[in-house]
Structure 1
Amino acid sequence: MKIYVCENYDRMSEVAANYVAAQITLKPNSILGLATGSTPEGLYRQLVEKYNKKEIDFNDIISFNLDEYLDLPKEDVNSYYTFMHENLFNHVNIKEENINIPEGNVDDIESYAMKYDNKIDSSGGIDLQVLGIGNNAHIGFNEPSDTFSRYTEVVNLTPETIEANARFFDNEDDVPKKAISMGIGTIMKSKKIVLIASGEEKAQAVNDMINGRIDPKVPASILQLHEDVLVVLDEAAAKKIDKKLYKKI
C-alpha cells in the first residue's frame, strides 16, 4: 500500500486525477470502477478539465460504478446515476452504452446483482477502481459486518451512514435505508485501486484501514491484502497515521 499525503483537498483531487488520467493514457480502453459521494467530486472536475484540454479521451473507456440506492428512481437528484452524469459523464465523450451503474429498481435484485458481477468479469475485470471511505471505514456501501461480502448484493445501510448521507437529502428520513453495492470480493479483484479521503472526520477510519488488523468490522482493512493500492489523503485525513508511512506530495 502506497500512501501520499497532500496539503489540501484540491491537491489530493489533482494527484488522484493524474493517476486516473495516466491509466486512461496507458490503456485507452480501460475498465474503470467509479465511486460517488462528495470526496471524488474534485477528482471528476479535474478529469473533465483534462478532457477539455484534450489530454485524455473517454471514447473507449468502460465504467462500472460501485453502488446505487435501492428503490430510488435513477432520475432522482440524489441517485448515483444522476451524480455520475452531472459530475462526469455529461462532460466527456464516454459512450452511454459503456456506462454501467447498478440498478436500484429491478424486480429480481439478486439475479441482477449476479449479472452485474458477471458483466464486470466478462469485460475483462476492472483495471483501476476508485474508492472513497466512510466514517465507519466502509468502501462502496459495504458496511461493518461479521464477514467480508464477496459479491454485488443488497446491503442495509447503518444509522451512521444514513446520518452522514442526510446532508444530500431534505431530511434524514428521506435517505434510503438499503443500497445495492459491489461486494468486497468484487472490489478486491480490481487490478489497481486508488482510495481518496479528505477531512478530519475520516482520520480514524483511515488509520484503522492502514494500521488496524484485517477485520470485516473495518471493511477497508481488507485493502492491506491487495497488491496495488494507492491511498491519497489530505493532511486532515492523515492526522492519525505515522508520518513515516507516507510521502508528502
Structure 2
Amino acid sequence: MFIVFPDTDHVAQYVSTLFIQRISQQPDVILGLATGGTMEPIYAQWVKQALARNIDVSQVSTFNLDEYVGLPAQHPQSYAAYMEHHLLRHLAFDRSRIHIPDGLAHDLPAYCQAYSDTIRDHGGIAMQLLGVGSNGHIGFNEPGTPFDSQCHVVELSERTRIDNSRFFGPNEIVPASAITMGMRDIMDAHEIILVATGSSKAATIAKYYEHEVSPLVPFTILKQHPKAHIILDAAAAALVPSNVCQFYDTVPAAML
C-alpha cells in the first residue's frame, strides 16, 4: 500500500511529523538519514516543527546513508555539507552523535566495515529515511548490488551520475564512486520511510509495483521489510492503480 498526498508540501509535513513524534517519544532514538532534492522540504519542515515545539534533539544519534568518495566534508556538494545546510546547523544536535561517511577515508574497506559495525554497536537504526533513484537504487546501491551487502564503496552508474549532475556546477565533475550503507544495513532498520515525489519518479514507483523482489530493481527489497512505508505525492503515484494507494488530502489532525 502506498501512502499518497496531493503535493510535496503535504508529504514533507507528514514525514517530518513522523520523525518529530519519534524523537518526542524516544529522545535517544537512532535515525538513518538521506540526502537529495526530495529531502530538502522534509528537513525544512523538520526544523520548523522542532523549533516551534521546542524539541530536544541533543540525545538523537544519526547515520547518513552515503557520501561521495574524494569530497571533503567542506565541499559544497558533499553530503556532509548538505546535512549541515539543511538540518544540523539549525538545531542543537550533539555533533559526537552525528555519523556521516568520510569521503576522504584512507583505508576504504576497513572504514566501511567500521561504519556498519558502529550502526550495530548503537543497537541498529530505529527509523531509516530513504529516497529512490530513477534506476531503483537506495543509498547508492545500484542495480545488481547483493541484498546481503554491508557498507561498501560503489562505482556510480552513468544514470546516477547524470541524475546527480544537477547539483554540481557546469564545469564540475560528478564523483565516480561513493561510500554507501549496504542493503543489509538498510534492511536491518526497524522501520523504513521511503519518499518519492514528482512525475520523474512515477515510472520508478511503477517498477516497484510491477516487479518481483530483485537486485535489478534494488528498492523492491523493501517488500520484504515488515515496517516499510512508501510515501508519495500524487505525481509520483500517477502510474500505479488507485486501489493500492491510501490517499490523504492533508496530514491527519491527530498527528499534529
The TM-score by the shorter chain falls in which range?
over 0.9
Match for residue 61 of structure 2? 62
Q: In 2, Cα distance between the equivalents of 1:106 and 1:194?
A: 29
Q: In 2, Cα distance between the equivalents of 1:206 and 1:173?
A: 30
Match for residue 19 of structure 1? 18
Secondary structure of 2:37's aligned partner:
coil
Q: In 2, Cα distance between the equivalents of 1:221 and 1:117?
A: 22
Shift of 1:240: 1.0
Secondary structure of 1:116's aligned partner:
helix
Q: In 1, Cα distance between the equivalents of 2:204 and 2:15?
A: 19
**After the TM superposition, which segments of 4 or more aligned residues of structure 1 sit over 6 Å from their partners?**
none
Match for residue 93 of structure 2? 94
What whole-Å deviation, never above 9, does each CA across 1:58-87 have from its counterpart, x for those lacking one?
A: 111000000000001110000000000100
What whole-Å deviation, never above 9, does each CA across 1:127-148 have from its counterpart, x for those lacking one?
A: 0000000011100000111633
Q: In 1, Cα distance between the equivalents of 2:174 and 2:67?
A: 12
Match for residue 169 of structure 1? 168
Identity of aligned residues (%): 35
Farther-moved stretch of structure 1 (169-178 vs 121-130):
169-178
* Count of residues in Structure 1 that have an aligned counterpart in Structure 2: 248
Q: Which residue identity lines up with residue 137 of structure 1 in the other structure?
A: G
Match for residue 119 of structure 1? 118
Are the structure 2 counterparts of residues 146 and 94 from structure 1 closer, same or farther at C-alpha, using a change threshold of 3 Å? closer
Secondary structure of 2:207's aligned partner:
helix
Map 1:1-249; keep pairs closer than 5 Å: 2-145=1-144, 147-171=146-170, 174-249=173-248
Are the structure 2 counterparts of residues 100 and 146 from structure 1 closer, same or farther at C-alpha, using a change threshold of 3 Å? closer
Q: Which residue identity lines up with residue 174 of structure 1 in the other structure?
A: I
Shift of 1:56: 2.5
RMSD of equivalent CA atoms = 1.2
What are structure 2's unaligned runs of at least 5 residues? 249-256
Shift of 1:172: 7.3
- Residue 71 of structure 1 contacts residue 105 of structure 1 at CA under 8 Å; is this kept in 2? yes
Q: In 2, Cα distance between the equivalents of 1:198 and 1:8?
A: 8
Are the structure 2 counterparts of residues 72 and 63 from structure 1 closer, same or farther at C-alpha, using a change threshold of 3 Å? same
Q: Which residue identity lines up with residue 223 of structure 2 in the other structure?
A: Q
Shift of 1:209: 1.8
Shift of 1:211: 3.2
- Residue 209 of structure 1 contacts residue 223 of structure 1 at CA under 8 Å; is this kept in 2? no
Q: In 2, Cα distance between the equivalents of 1:107 and 1:161?
A: 24
Q: In 1, Cα distance between the equivalents of 2:5 and 2:44?
A: 17
Q: Which residue identity lines up with residue 89 of structure 2 in the other structure?
A: N
Match for residue 252 of structure 2? none
What are structure 1's unaligned runs of at least 5 residues? none
